[in-house]
Structure 1
């Protein structure tokens, strides 16, 4: 039932094809039969997975990588204007397509669910993808992280539903026309693109305004920013608004969340009836993500009891409190959290899952601009750990900002009573943590950069 390939996407070339968002679109196009090519800065498992689907993946960026017959060049907001392949596209008059426009073209003709919010998008999108697949609805999906089960971030399905993570960071989520949209929370982030909460609200209002007539907005009833957005969009014509959460006024009300070790049992009240299901990851925030997914599926007409049971099959996403292994009695877990709210939620989840354990954190700040604006709050979040090691800032797409370093976070953490230490040599972290850890401890590697690579290294040091 799924549509074919848009004409402009028959021979696409992706600059940065290994990225989480870019690779997902490339995989779906390859599965639909497009002649996919692209380049990335370094070799990776993602590059190999794309090659296995028939894509041509070059390592490094060079003008010769762009084929003369490319139908378009796909870029994300992270691609700089002086990229040689982008310059070559201009010489050849090859159309340049933003990642969000490419994704929007893949959703055409399908019942789209777009998942937005400052935090929790990947998890909630993943929960829906797993549950809909479990119900034999064969959805297409594009996610910002790899599912723990299938081990991929995207798939082309033959069913009528397309589930996509909708990125607000560069306003690109305004390109989509979903039948159902989820807004998990609304907070100030992405400071290079948004100067104020007023701009954030305007952007989310525009996103809600793109929901198709008669469609549904599923939105949190407990989070301050989401409540404000709800008031702003209720007047939109032909829009159904469904709230979820622990508030007594929520349309899908959370009656109880019961921790069960590294899982949770959730009971909701939906249409006057109680419904209980299991969420196989710890923490209140993940339980609420599952309730959002439930509400969205019901909005598409899927029976609630079937969907609740299928949500229990979700086993997690890589880098979202992912257990990397255990050695010498120490468990090593990986977290993608990089915003203070996310950090606090994951640290509280780990505290709740193992209240007797000592919690050691390796935190890598992500982006100079985010550290400049939220460094104090990041340090305060680290006070939930027994001890923290803080790395240098991972720059990603940004140039350094004078005076902005990880010391801002360390100072704030210490002011909050935390035990925080700077380690500037990433290669020394594994040995440092292994020397600190004792049997029964939990080690959490945290951040959106390459801190994830340290988990296996820490396990090796613990084993030696």
Structure 2
């Protein structure tokens, strides 16, 4: 076994192995020498990438998929108690490990950077992974999205740094003990698990309290939720703030848009640094500054890290260009919370000039729509026209009275041009009928709306 592989995880079985968080852990364990197996609901490029690393991936869930010699079963909070493989694990007495515990075990003995926040975690984690790799530091990383190819969400590097996306949705980020933690922002989300913003603050306070002695919390000076969290933290937590606020420790002096990229100037330890960010939008520029501050807190020279950040060119589903057809560009956005939707639409507006922006939006989760449907509709008013699909349920059961109509009504009240489409199969033709050369089309949401990009491009090519 490779050094650092927990013996209890030398033959792990993952239920839902194709998920963004699960597949990354499985990939690292396979690269460390573990005999990895697992199951997922459907075939995918991620499943193929795992098989290429030697993992056994079953499609569908069945008790027989779990090998008798499995050393543990790894689950996420989305796995239901009646899953047949989980039931079989109980019958065999196989230990069940939450994915956060598995990830925490992989970080042991290394210098972890844990990236948290309601929005921007995947992008910031990716920026760190790419830039540290560019500097030859060979980090390990586990990210909630693919960088440039299926399976590229994780890597076992032989350096001493581990960069991880820290998920607050189910409080699993309480399991980590980072040397450097990042909190990008704090907002009420994940309504099935948090009843109030105070519960969110308490959860982030617990996360900050897990930073190892002598470690550092890098936190936004611009976001009011982050500032409130900073006020609540004890003096024992060493903080470094970043942002455009005048009192930020790492102060952003300028963000200059340059088409689908930007130039950022910061003041860090009395030194002005200017560097490029190869993705559009102010929010992504600020994510890069958070990454810069975190690297500096870990002892990496900022003058070396800043130019390396330009090597990051994006992650799948984060304003990812899917292609162009008939003069129309189709871009995929993972945004599903109003703050994210607004940020991505503003970034596109800045980059698009006079071009029209058309959105295909798929709401994600009934609970989120119930709480934030009005704000989602108001965000869509930033587009020139939008098509709204039915709610993608993911792990949730329907809530009576909660439909996409909540969003549509709010959007129209805000003056937006919005159309409801209930059948995804109708979307390519609908967009082809709306789009004109020069337009930008955004497929937006955390569900399977991402599958529509290629279909829209095919339909446009028939114009």
TM-score of Structure 1 vs Structure 2, range by shorter chain: over 0.9
Tell me if 1:412 matches 2:437.
no
* Aligned equivalent of 1:460: 458
Instruction: Give the alignment of 1:112-261 within 5 angstroms.
Output: 112-148=112-148, 152-235=152-235, 237=236, 239-261=237-259
* Aligned equivalent of 1:397: 395
Query: Any unmatched runs of 5+ in structure 2?
Result: none
| Structure 1 contact 234–241 (Cα < 8 Å) conserved | no
1 CA distance for matches of 2:148 and 2:187?
A: 28
Which residue of 422, 425, 439 maps to 1:441?
439
Secondary structure in 2 matching 1:312: helix
| Structure 1 contact 3–109 (Cα < 8 Å) conserved | no
| Structure 2 contact 24–151 (Cα < 8 Å) conserved | no
* Aligned equivalent of 2:311: 313
Instruction: Give the TM-score normalised by structure 1.
Output: 0.99
* Aligned equivalent of 2:363: 365
2 CA distance for matches of 1:198 and 1:259?
A: 36
1:297-350 Cα offsets, whole Å, 9 max, x none, are: 000100001000100110100000000000000000000000000000000000
Tell me if 1:387 matches 2:359.
no
Instruction: Give the TM-score normalised by structure 2.
Output: 0.99
1 CA distance for matches of 2:281 and 2:210?
A: 32
2 CA distance for matches of 1:4 and 1:35?
A: 15
Tell me if 1:328 matches 2:326.
yes
Structure 1 residue 150 displacement after superposition: 8.6
| Structure 2 contact 288–309 (Cα < 8 Å) conserved | yes
Structure 1 residue 6 displacement after superposition: 0.2
Structure 1 residue 233 displacement after superposition: 1.2
1 CA distance for matches of 2:368 and 2:317?
A: 20
Structure 1 residue 149 displacement after superposition: 6.9
* Aligned equivalent of 1:89: 89
Instruction: Give the alignment of 1:254-273 within 5 angstroms.
Output: 254-273=252-271
Structure 1's consecutive aligned runs of 4 or more residues displaced over 4 angstroms after TM superposition are none
| Structure 1 contact 179–212 (Cα < 8 Å) conserved | yes
* Aligned equivalent of 1:431: 429
| Structure 1 contact 3–108 (Cα < 8 Å) conserved | no
User: In angstroms, what is the RMSD of aligned CA positions?
Assistant: 0.9
1:81-136 Cα offsets, whole Å, 9 max, x none, are: 10000000000000000000000000000000000000000000000000000000
1:39-85 Cα offsets, whole Å, 9 max, x none, are: 00000000000000000000000000000000000000000010000
1:361 to 1:345, Cα distance in 2 relative to 1, 3 A: same
2 CA distance for matches of 1:28 and 1:145?
A: 15
* Aligned equivalent of 2:372: 374
2 CA distance for matches of 1:369 and 1:45?
A: 30
1:179-231 Cα offsets, whole Å, 9 max, x none, are: 00000000000000000010000000000000000100000000010000111
